Structure 1
Amino acid sequence: MAPAARRTRPSPGPGAVGTGPAGEPVHPAEPVPFAARVVGWVLAVGGGIGALAAFVLTVEKINLIADPGYRPTCSINPILSCGSVMTTPQAEVFGFPNPLLGIAGFSVVTTIGVLVLAGARLPRWVWLGLQAGATFGVVFVHWLVYQSLYRIGALCPYCMVVWVVMIAIFWYVTLHNLHHRHLPVPGAAGRGVDALVRLHTVGLTVWFLVIVGLIGEAFWFYWRTLL
């Protein structure tokens, strides 16, 4: 009688790290792309907060138009004063109240964030469109920061909420697009992008601290009276 044929196990496929009890190849869990959920949460939550702040600013602006003597809820002292900011030309750069841009823009951002959290794989053109919008928003925000600190001489608390979420949205959208090469990354800059991805909270924290420092310096004449 011929000896029984020797049974061999199939070799694990590419990426397998071993075999299971039945001999089937076991593959490691697929890694989650960089900040996929972080970016989703930043877009969804940040966009929601930004839209809410823009909506409140719009309501306050309407109340101020209806009653020039109205005192906005965010007018706290001579420096933290929405009323002082809302009545300036900078508050209507495009011929209508700036918060209307925020309501529209942040609503789109929130929708994209919810889609990302739901697991939707958005095409490259969506991310590039979001990048363009976030870039416009962050440039506009920094122009408003400059105007508030060095031209108007007052801060709008609700506006500062918009500043924070807009900067965070721009930061994480940019890192996402660089990491996934939706934006061109020269070979020599690849390691720099990887470092920014690993230390993403550090870069954002430094950015915020710089703005806080500028606010402290611009209004130090007032802050020191509170010490």
Structure 2
Amino acid sequence: MLVSSVLSLIASFVLSVDAVKLAADPTAELSCNINQVISCGTVAAAWQSQLLGFPNAFLGLIAEPVVITIAAACLGGVRFPRWFMFAAQVVYAIGFGFAYWLFYQSMFHIGALCPWCLLVTISTTLVFATLTHVNIRDNNLFLPARLQTALASGLRANLDLVIVVIWLLIVVLAVVVKYGDLLFG
């Protein structure tokens, strides 16, 4: 969770700098404009990149330090109250949904992919999975007893790891199937 959120923070910083560059000069050439498919500039020019009226990357600059703090505190032995971890799960679920909405928009509507955005999507997936793992393990999600027991059993069998690996492989496969040779051309 800590490593993934640090990577997302770095990506958010780069994307924020690029957003400022593009605001100053809409014709600026970004270093991650590699071809017609791998093109940060194309993604950044789309309305989806500023859904709330400012660059989405600014949200990462706000949210990721919070996640880093939670992860570092947990590594240091801090146990947050159940309500806090439940709230963190809910808020991060919204971020997870937003990341995949942006991924979908990029894949099927914008028609270009941003490597930094893809890093955020993957990192968000890993943070969400880790946070969910911790919250199920520590019984923070206010789930019915039978469901909590079943999910905790699945964690002990590492089913969450299997699900995350399959999920990320599906994401990669979707990109390759959709864009194939254009990715490297």
TM interval, shorter chain, is over 0.9
Distance 1:129 1:184, change over 3 A: closer
Q: Which residues in structure 2 correspond to 1:12-51 (within 5 Å)? A: 42=1, 44-51=2-9
TM-score (norm 2): 0.92
Structure 1: gaps of 5 or more residues = 1-41
* Alpha-carbon distance in 2 for matches of 1:130, 1:155: 29
1:92–1:98 contact (8 Å) kept in structure 2? yes
Is 1:194–2:153 an aligned residue pair? yes
Query: For 1:153-204, what per-residue CA distance to the aligned partner results, in whole angstroms no more than 9, with x for missing partners?
Result: 0000000110011011111111221222111333443234322343132111
SS at match of 2:152: helix
Is 1:220–2:180 an aligned residue pair? yes
Calculate the aligned-residue CA RMSD, in Å.
1.6
Q: Which residues in structure 2 correspond to 1:23-102 (within 5 Å)? A: 42=1, 44-102=2-60
Distance 1:82 1:197, change over 3 A: farther
Q: Which residues in structure 2 correspond to 1:50-199 (within 5 Å)? A: 50-189=8-147, 190-199=149-158
Greater length-normalized contact order (CA 8 Å, ≥ 6 residues apart): 2
1:179–1:194 contact (8 Å) kept in structure 2? no
* Alpha-carbon distance in 1 for matches of 2:34, 2:16: 18
Query: For 1:90-123, what per-residue CA distance to the aligned partner results, in whole angstroms no more than 9, with x for missing partners?
Result: 0000111000111100010001111111111211
2:48–2:102 contact (8 Å) kept in structure 1? yes
Q: Percent identity?
A: 33
Bigger mean CA offset, 107-116 vs 120-129:
120-129
| Paired residue total | 183
Select the structure of larger CA radius of gyration.
1
Aligned to 2:164: 204
TM-score (norm 1): 0.76
* Alpha-carbon distance in 2 for matches of 1:115, 1:129: 16
2:11–2:116 contact (8 Å) kept in structure 1? yes
Query: For 1:23-55, what per-residue CA distance to the aligned partner results, in whole angstroms no more than 9, with x for missing partners?
Result: xxxxxxxxxxxxxxxxxxx1x222111111101
SS at match of 1:77: coil
